[in-house]
Chains A and B, each alone.
Chain A
Amino acid sequence: MKKLRLATTSLAGCFGCHMSLLDMDERLIDLLQFIEFDRSPLTDFKTFRQRCDIGLVEGGCCNEENVRVLRAFRENCDLLIAIGQCAIMGGLPVMRNAIMHAEQPLNECLQTAYAPSETVWNPACRIPADAELPLLLDKVYTCAEVVKIDYQIPGCPPSADALWYVLNAAVQGNPLDLPPELIRYD
């Protein structure tokens, strides 16, 4: 049987979903009989080796790089699965969209983050603008706002059981629908 190729990435996420992937413990060994990893922080491949069957995306999009990586995943994966609340609905980073009603939202966001205050020492009033840093988007976007997403595994992070269930179902060719007891938003 041909192994399924799996790619994973963390966009505007905290790698918690990837920790949950590792949390499958010894089941990972079982899984590796059916799955091989392509581009992923776990393999440290920064680009796709070949087309993948499944892409797992953690985190939403808050900067240019997130968008480019997500688009690359969409182009190179047959089945794209958003994992975790950040990928699905923005998660905690989306709280910055609460200032969207400001006249200049991004400016206000940077102001809030970098303006000198009781907790910020920044006498030169500088904001980081190094060319190496990816450009920030005007707001945080969910993965589904940027590309088509085929399935979502909610959770913060999704439990190892939930990830196991979906990957197992994919391997078996079963419907991916999570049973209610594995659906968690926190």
Chain B
Amino acid sequence: MTTPQAATDYATDIVKNACRQYNNDASRMMDILWCVQDALGGIDTDAMTVIAQQTSGYRVEVEGVVSFYSFFSSQPRPQVVRIYLCEDVIDQHAGIAEVAAVFERTLGIRIGQTSADIPVELHWTPCIGLSDQAPAALINFRPFTRLTPDKAEALARAILAGIAVHELPIGEGEGNNSKPLINVEVANNLRLPGAVYFAPHRPLSGLDNAGRLSPAQVRHEIRQAGLRGRGGAGYPVWKKWEAAATTASERRFVICNADEGEPGTFKDRLLLTEKADLLFEGMTIAAYAVGASEGILYLRAEYRYLHAWLNHLLLERRRQGLLGKAIRGMENFDFDIRIQLGAGAYICGEESALISSCEGRRGEPKTKPPFPAQAGYLGYPTVVNNVETLCAIPAILSRGSQWFAGLGTEQSSGTKLLSVSGDCSRPGVYEVPLGISVKEVLTLAGGVDAQAVQVGGASGEMIGVADFGRSLCFEDLPTAGAIMIFNGQRNLLSIVHYFMRFFVDESCGYCTPCRVGNVFLLQAVEKIMKGLGEAQDIESMRQLSETIIATSRCGLGHTSPNPVLSSLKHFPLVYSSLIRENAKGMQAGFDLEQALATARAIVRRPAEVLQCEVRLQPADAHASDRLTGVLAYPLIARSGLDDYTVPKVDSTDDPSAHQEDAES
């Protein structure tokens, strides 16, 4: 056993080393915090103080960052096993509740609570990008898929028996998932390869073709191809590139957004697993086209199990001269990539929030303008593109913009990867030309009894059978690729409720409408689910939604009311069947008997109450402190009238009284 002092010194050394490893650079805060958490199991205020000292910052700033991300813990627990169960609707429908119950029972701990007895924690977490093999969980960031109660029990018992997480029994992983550097039981579930991403690609043919063109010509090719961002918004890629390339600057950055956080999306997981070289080739071409020499791959923490593999590929590329100085012999073309690990924040999928996170800050979106392409990472022009977008680049350069533009529809060229999950027989990734109808997707995936399809994840649109003929493309139903299928057995309102809860949990809190408005929207949905809603509540929800959409600062708030609005539009009966007009102007939400239950218990059983339920304790130290606190708070120190002064309470003049108050 070490002494407390030795333990503290040990922890301080760990923290100092972590800071030193990143040159005490506050902009590498995310890496420093991961480093500390990996060693100590969490980052407590002592560690925050040391980090602040080492990085010339303030403790409260470090605390601001730690508390922003859901995977950072402020409680150091060395060797802790953290189990994150995926709470997404798809996982709920697949039976995560039963799995969770088994984990709770076997481990003897409740979700969200920590136990001093065993170094195991159970948590809920939103979509972890495994909806095609739900229910799923991350155990110390190692994914476990297709969980059943039996499998959960076996895992829990193995953990209790002290088996290390990397030695827990797993099924076979598909493709690269079985490589030693990944070694997880994840299936790729590529159901339909298409012309761009999963067609044969001669490695480096895109990069070499790009090298024969000038950067401006490469940008022109991308423009001709009509490539639009695959992250959902569909912004033309060439516009971002052009802005970054033409903004005068000494440094430029290319960032790949691999923060695939939209519930129901997992196609980037597949690209990162199987097509990472294509991605890195795309990033390199982008860097060449905009004149960037530094690249960042922002990897969501849920995909941390791919970190070592991706780092290995980067190392290989450096060895082959595909990264580093004078790439492929091109003079003046230097480019390298580092991986920035996220820490659990959906908002970091927003490009400027992602940049904030890369800079070691709270993942809050930045004020626009300036846009990232003008002033992004560390103030330098920065191109942020999605994994899928960047993976399309080599094919476009290799096979030509004409070829790419010929795929898909007029305004939505190319193919799109769809992440299909939910009530269908063939969940997985489909590469389809843009413009495909929802009905065709349902046929491909075997979603025969769908009553509703959530297009584009939580922030997308929930549509019904009448709209299944609509097309997935920027002209009609834009989507980042999530297709969640719900059959006739599913309660659509509880799905809407989950999505709203997701947005409440994931709002960064920067602006009023998103931080507060979504909470009220969630409460309104709850009211209706309880059968307490009235017609005016529906109108109120619409108005609130309109305000949130119009006044929010970033895309999260611009889309968070979509589950409510689209379900109201396409499934009005779901709401109207629960709405009732309350007689005589009473509020159905108020239940007098329930509100009186406690007091009734007290009055009807006074003797019992005095002995147990409201047994009054004599003034203890705690109560005394509370009273001191009240008295020490000078509500009326001086009245409005100058000739009249209220006698001061002694304790207000005694600074030590305040001190005690603060410490209690």
Contacts and interface: CB of A to CB of B under 8 A. Distances in A.
Report A-B touching, CB under 8 Å: yes
Interface of A: 64, 67, 71, 74-75, 80, 104-107, 110-112, 114-119, 122, 125-127, 129, 131, 135-139, 141, 144-148
28 contacts: A64-B596, A71-B586, A74-B585, A74-B586, A75-B584, A75-B585, A104-B613, A105-B598, A107-B602, A110-B602, A111-B616, A112-B626, A114-B616, A115-B623, A116-B619, A117-B623, A117-B624, A127-B609, A129-B606, A129-B609, A131-B603, A135-B599, A137-B599, A138-B597, A141-B595, A144-B587, A147-B585, A148-B585
B577 interface: no
Given A67-B592, A117-B624, A135-B596, A127 B587 contact: no
B169 interface: no
B614 interface: yes
Nearest to A111: B616
Interface class of chain B by DSSP: helix
Contacts of A114: 616
A105 B596 CA distance: 13
A115 B624 contact: no
Contacts of A148: 585-587
Interface residues of B, number: 30
A93 to B, nearest CB: 14
Given A74-B585, A116-B618, A138-B599, 9 more contacts: A64-B599, A104-B613, A106-B598, A110-B616, A117-B624, A126-B610, A129-B606, A138-B596, A144-B587
A146 to B, nearest CB: 5
Given A64-B592, A67-B592, A138-B595, A146 B587 contact: yes
A110 to B, nearest CB: 5
A107 B586 contact: no
A48 B617 CA distance: 45
Contacts of B212: none
Contact of B618 (A71, A105, A115): A115
Interface of B: 584-587, 589-590, 592, 594-600, 602-603, 606, 609-610, 613-619, 623-624, 626-627
Contact of B599 (A67, A74, A106, A144): A106
A136 B597 CA distance: 9
A129 B614 CA distance: 12
A125 to B, nearest CB: 4
Contact of B590 (A117, A129, A146): A146
Contacts of A71: 586
Contacts of A75: 584-585
Contact of B598 (A104, A112, A141): A104
Contacts of A112: 623, 626
B584 A74 contact: yes
A111 B616 CA distance: 6
B661 to A, nearest CB: 15
B119 to A, nearest CB: 27
A31 B592 CA distance: 36
Contacts of B615: 125
Nearest to B595: A137
Interface class of chain A by DSSP: mixed
A136 B596 CA distance: 7
Contact of A138 (B585, B598, B609, B613): B598
Contact of B603 (A135, A137, A146): A135
Contact of B587 (A64, A105, A147): A147
Contacts of A144: 587
Given A116-B616, A117-B624, A141-B595, A135 B600 contact: yes
A145 B627 CA distance: 32
A74 B584 CA distance: 7
A147 B590 CA distance: 8
Contacts of A105: 598
Nearest to A108: B614
B530 to A, nearest CB: 14
A74 B624 CA distance: 43
A71 B599 CA distance: 20
A129 B602 CA distance: 8
A121 to B, nearest CB: 11
Contacts of B609: 127, 129
Most buried by A among B599, B606, B627: B599
B624 A127 contact: no
A133 to B, nearest CB: 8
A127 B614 contact: yes
Nearest to B615: A125
B427 to A, nearest CB: 41
Contacts of A141: 590, 595
A74 B586 CA distance: 8
A137 B596 contact: yes
Instruction: Give the 7 A-B CB pairs with smallest separation, nearest first.
Output: A117-B619, A125-B616, A148-B585, A135-B599, A136-B599, A137-B595, A106-B598
A122 B624 CA distance: 15
B318 to A, nearest CB: 54
Nearest to B619: A117
A112 B625 CA distance: 12
Contacts of A122: 616
Contacts of B618: 115-116, 125
Contacts of A129: 602-603, 606, 609
Nearest to B586: A147
Contacts of A104: 598, 613
Most buried by B among A107, A116, A126: A107
A74 B587 CA distance: 11
A122 B626 CA distance: 18
B460 to A, nearest CB: 34
A145 B589 contact: yes
Contacts of B610: 125-127
Given A110-B614, A144-B587, A117 B627 contact: yes
Contacts of B598: 104-107, 138
Contacts of B594: 138
A50 to B, nearest CB: 17
Nearest to B613: A107
B462 to A, nearest CB: 31
A139 to B, nearest CB: 8
B400 to A, nearest CB: 63
